[in-house]
Every structure is written in C-alpha cells, then in structure tokens.
C-alpha cells in the first residue's frame, strides 16, 4: 500500500524537472497508479494496515491503511487529481501568458505545488494517526493557499490571505480537539482511541465546520473558490472541503457523542445551510462563484448525513455511507463543472453568466460535460443517486416518516436539480447574449471531463457498485464504533435492491 502512496510523492519532485506536457502526463499517471491500486484492492480485498513507526505517548502508532471508506475518498481524489492534471496543461499555459510570466519556468513551480497539494489529500485519507492526518491537512491548506496567492484572479493576494487565515483557524481548532483526545486517551492512533469527549468534539466540529463549510463560516469559500485558478478550484471545491466531512466521519466512527447530543440542531443547521446556499446560486452572476455556492449547498448534504451518526443503529450506518458517497459524487460532478467554467474562461475570457447563453452551439463538448456534472449533483443516473438514497434512508431510520425532517431533505435534493438546470439554461442553452465564435479547443480541456463523467456513471453500475457498496458497509460497521451496532449486511443491501 505504501508504495502506491509514494508514487505521487515521487512525482512531486520529478515533475518540475520535465517540460509542461511531460510533467502533466507524469502527474496524471502518478495519481492513476494509486487509483488502479485501490480499485484492485476493492475487488481483491484490502491489505492489512502498515505501521510506519511507533511514537511514545500521547502520539502513538503511525500507520497507513485502506478500508471501504478511505477507498471511496481515495478513488475520488486520485481520479480528479489525475484528470485535472491533464486539464491544467492548456489552462495554466493560458493563465501564465495572461500574467505575462515565463510559461515553462512558472509551470515547474505550479506542478510541484499542485502535486504536493493533491498528494497530501491522498495521504490524509489513508493515514491512521490524527496528528499525521493534521499534518497532511495543513500541507493541503498551505499548498492551496500558495496556488491561489500566486496564480489566482482578482485581488488574489487578499483572497489568499483570507483563505489562509480562515483555514488556519479551522486547523488549529481541530488540533486543539486532537490534543484533548491525546490527553484523554494517551494516543492519537485511530485504532487505539477509545473515546472522544464532548469538549474535544466541540473543537473539532468548530474547526471542521469552517473548513466544510457551514452557513456563517462559509464567507471565505466563494472568494477562494472563485478567484483560484480553475485547476485549483477543481480540487478545492470537489475534494478539499469535503475532507472536513471525512475527518468528522472518522472521529464519529470512534465516538459520535457530539452528534448524539446535538442531532436535531445540527440537522436544522445543515438543512438551512443547504437551502440558503442553494437559493444563493440563483443570484450569482459569476459562473465560478455560482459553483462555489453550490458547494456550500452540497456540503449541507454531508452535514445532514453526519448528524445521522448521532442517531445510532442503522441510521448511523446509512449516514456514514451517505457521507462517503456524497463526497465521491460531488467530487466528480463539481470538478467537471469547475473545469467547464474554466474552459469558458480559457476560450472566451467569460465568467459573467449574464453575458453567456447559447454556448452549447459553440462549445458542445463543454456543454455536454457540464450536463454530466449537474447530473452528479442532482443524483441522476450517477453515483450521486446512491448518496441521496442512503442519506434519505438514514433520515427515515433516524426520524421515522416524520415530514418535518423528510421534506427539507427532499426539497434540498430537488433544489440541486433545479439550480443545475437553471444554470445550464442560462449558460449553454437559450438565446446567445454575446457573439462568440467557435475556435479551436484543446482536447485537454474536455476529454478529462468526460473521463470523470464516465467514472461517475461506471461507479453506479456493477461490477463496481457491487464491489464498493459491500466494502463500505463493512467499513462503517468496523472497529470499536459506538454508532454502528446495527445489523444491515452488505449482502442484504445488495439483495434488498440497493444495487441496480
């Protein structure tokens, strides 16, 4: 397993020595290797955890592992990182020319930071120690900051600092939570922690709700995601923010006391976040900013799924599955959409959707890719459908057929589809509002998008879905968890009609 994870790390240092084209391909291959490796494990069975070394208390063992949950996150990160690495070749060349800097020289710096950024996310989901996880979380935040600060749009330095300060506050709050866990348990090793107190949880939740983000602490997100260079937005929004959900999920699988105490308030907060951000999409005129608000709305799904872990039993299982699948579906969908928005910037320099319309006739490739992106967000015939199913099932398990809880969730699902089609109509269909002529478009700008779209459909159907759903079930029912004592087996899920 460790060799699979080392491949992207090696690429971090080799890629800057190559030409932009070779570096892009190397980066893409470097993330494809762990993708296929984890896929292989999904079918052949996961290897045992690998201990890197043991540290004295309160740090504990450092190890890496892969289970059903980390596999889902890992596959999403590898696939998106590999494809965006290719997409970035024409995009960043265009951006560097726009900035008036030496393309080749700047691409070396860019590809180093990009690969480090993506590799840190990959390591984060496979490491088995909270302090190790925190280290990768911070590397991820700092590399993203550097990419915004150096290559972003608008007042990029201000936006970069805004992002850095918010994320550092999020990081340190989480760290304080981890430290309290360390003091209470004498270890930070995931499989040795026995309990997570309410105080530790409060810090972790406060930190991760900034990172996720929820309504209120979300102020940094539209700025950072909109002003980042598009390949960075295509990792930030689809991958990075959702990892806050991963961290909370991992801690909740040990001890979900916080969600147990605050199930209803968190549910209400998550629903309001999702609905508010969903409606905010309609008032945005900047395409990337619109997508950023959609991210806040989608993260509301994840928070709803997380609060189900407090309900215990089967609701908790379905919640945990909902978090994982929603992450994958959002990763595929949102990376496609940001890359679509970036394609329009690279080709026509357009961001204002008031000036768009009718672009399907000019760039059908991008338009069709965007349709696949919104299908993921809306959960239509893609892996996102599983996500919505498990979240809804979890809500039913937790609250029964109580319409006060069911209706908001269903409305949120509808809202995603609604703003998806609204955006498609506004940008790609209808009457053109500007005269733009079709021009030559690099295949790098759309082929990676179709690959991601195809993956999101493939993961919906067997044999992929019949491989990952049972493994995910196993993972949420595994190890010292206080929330997953119920008895839904993988075969029951498959046999019970969960799979197509």
Partner 1 sequence: MTDGIWVIAGIVSLLILVSGAVLSYKDSRFGLISAIIAVIVAFIASSITGSFGYVVFVLAISLLNIFSLEAMQNDIKGIDYGLVGLIALATMFILNTDDLAYVLTALVIVSVPTYILVMLREGAVDVEIGVKYIVFMVFATVLFLIGAIIIASGAEGIMLTLGYVMLVVGLSLEVGVAPLHEWVPDVFAAADPIPVSVIASIAKIVPFVAAFRILASTPDVEIAAISLTAVIAAFSMFVGNIGALTAREHARVLAYSTVANMGYMLTCLVAVSVSVSHVSVSHAHKEVQMAALLGGVLLLFANAAGKIGFFNAIKGEGACSPLLYTLSFSFIGVPPLLGFWGKFFILISLVSAALAAQFHWLYWLAGILVLNSAVSIPYYIRLARELGSCWKANITNYIVAAATVITLITVFLYIPVAWFPADIGSIEIPISLPAAGG
Interface residues with partner 1 (CB under 8 A)?
52-59, 62, 131-132, 134-135, 138-139, 142, 146, 157, 161, 164-165, 168-169, 172-173, 175-176, 179-180, 182-184
Closest separation between CB of residue 18 and partner 1, Å? 19
* Minimum CB distance to partner 1 smaller for 99 or for 172: 172
Q: Each residue of 160-173: b (16+ CB within 10 Å) or e? A: bebbbebbebbbeb
Closest separation between CB of residue 92 and partner 1, Å? 18
Q: Could you tell me which of 244, 245, 232, 220 has the C-alpha nearest to residue 144?
A: 232
Closest separation between CB of residue 64 and partner 1, Å? 12
Report cis status (omega within 30 of 0) of the bond before 296: no
* Minimum CB distance to partner 1 smaller for 102 or for 434: 102
Q: Give me 89's structure tokens.
A: 């070749």
* Minimum CB distance to partner 1 smaller for 123 or for 446: 123
**Helix, strand or coil, per DSSP, at residue 397:** helix
* Minimum CB distance to partner 1 smaller for 161 or for 494: 161
Q: Could you tell me which of 484, 483, 494, 478 has the C-alpha nearest to residue 66?
A: 478
**Helix, strand or coil, per DSSP, at residue 480:** coil
Closest separation between CB of residue 95 and partner 1, Å? 19
* Minimum CB distance to partner 1 smaller for 151 or for 405: 151
Residue with tokens 């999702």: 274
- Residues 6+ positions from 181 with CB-CB distance below 8 Å: 130, 188, 193, 196, 197, 200
Q: Give me 226's structure tokens.
A: 């909109």
* Minimum CB distance to partner 1 smaller for 219 or for 438: 219
Residue with tokens 């699979």: 4
Closest separation between CB of residue 426 and partner 1, Å? 38
297, HSE (Cβ side, Cα atoms, 13 Å) = 29
Closest separation between CB of residue 129 and partner 1, Å? 9
Contact, 229 vs 152, CB < 8 A?
yes
* Minimum CB distance to partner 1 smaller for 183 or for 434: 183
Closest separation between CB of residue 12 and partner 1, Å? 12
* Minimum CB distance to partner 1 smaller for 132 or for 452: 132
* Minimum CB distance to partner 1 smaller for 227 or for 314: 227
Query: What pairs with residue 413 in β-bridges?
Result: none
Closest separation between CB of residue 91 and partner 1, Å? 23
Closest separation between CB of residue 136 and partner 1, Å? 8
CA distance 292 to 285: 12
- What is the full DSSP assignment across 426-466? HHTSSS-SS--------GGGTHHHHHHHHHHHHTTSTTHHH
- Residues 6+ positions from 453 with CB-CB distance below 8 Å: 332, 336, 369, 372, 373, 376
- Residues 6+ positions from 43 with CB-CB distance below 8 Å: 463, 467
């Amino acid at each position: 397993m460790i060799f699979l994870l080392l491949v992207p790390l090696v690429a971090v240092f080799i890629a800057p020595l190559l030409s932009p084209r070779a570096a892009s391909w190397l980066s893409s291959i470097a993330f494809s290797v762990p993708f296929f490796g984890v896929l292989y494990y999904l079918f052949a069975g996961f290897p045992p955890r690998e201990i890197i070394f043991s540290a004295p208390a309160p740090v504990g063992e450092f190890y890496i592992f892969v289970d059903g949950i980390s596999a889902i996150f890992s596959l999403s990160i590898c696939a998106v990182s590999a494809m965006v690495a290719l997409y970035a070749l024409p995009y960043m060349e265009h951006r560097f020319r726009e900035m008036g800097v030496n393309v080749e020289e700047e691409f070396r710096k860019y590809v180093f930071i990009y690969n480090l950024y993506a590799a840190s996310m990959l390591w984060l989901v496979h490491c088995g120690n909270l302090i190790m996880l925190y280290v990768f979380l911070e590397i991820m935040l700092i590399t993203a900051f550097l990419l915004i600060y150096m290559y972003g749009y608008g007042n990029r330095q201000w936006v970069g600092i805004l992002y850095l300060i918010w994320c550092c506050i999020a990081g340190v709050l989480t760290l304080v939570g981890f430290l309290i866990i360390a003091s209470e348990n004498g270890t930070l090793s995931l499989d040795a922690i026995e309990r997570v107190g309410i105080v530790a949880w409060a810090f972790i939740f406060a930190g991760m709700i900034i990172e996720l983000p929820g309504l209120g602490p979300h102020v940094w997100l539209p700025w950072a995601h909109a002003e980042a260079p598009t390949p960075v937005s295509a990792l930030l929004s689809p991958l990075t923010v959702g990892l806050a959900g991963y961290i909370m999920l991992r801690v909740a699988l040990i001890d979900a006391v916080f969600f147990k105490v605050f199930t209803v308030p968190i549910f209400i907060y998550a629903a309001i976040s999702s609905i508010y951000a969903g409606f905010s999409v309609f008032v945005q005129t900047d395409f990337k900013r619109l997508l950023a608000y959609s991210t806040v709305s989608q993260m509301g799904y994840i928070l709803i799924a997380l609060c189900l872990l407090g309900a215990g039993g089967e609701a908790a299982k379905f919640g945990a599955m909902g978090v994982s699948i929603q992450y994958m579906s959002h990763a595929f969908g949102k990376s496609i959409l940001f890359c679509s928005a970036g394609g329009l910037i690279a080709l026509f320099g357009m961001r204002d959707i008031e000036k768009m319309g009718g672009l399907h006739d000019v760039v059908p490739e991008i338009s069709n890719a965007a349709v696949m992106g919104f299908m993921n967000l809306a959960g239509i015939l893609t892996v996102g459908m599983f996500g919505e199913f498990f979240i809804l099932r979890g809500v039913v398990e937790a609250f029964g057929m109580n319409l006060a809880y069911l209706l908001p969730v269903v409305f949120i699902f509808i809202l995603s589809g609604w703003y998806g089609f609204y955006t498609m109509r506004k940008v790609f269909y209808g009457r053109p509002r500007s005269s733009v002529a079709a021009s030559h478009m690099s295949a790098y700008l759309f082929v990676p998008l179709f690959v991601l779209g195809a993956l999101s459909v493939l993961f919906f159907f067997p044999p992929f879905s019949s491989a990952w759903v049972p493994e995910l079930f196993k993972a949420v029912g595994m190890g010292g968890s206080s929330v997953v004592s119920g008895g839904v087996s993988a075969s029951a899920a498959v046999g019970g009609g969960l799979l197509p």
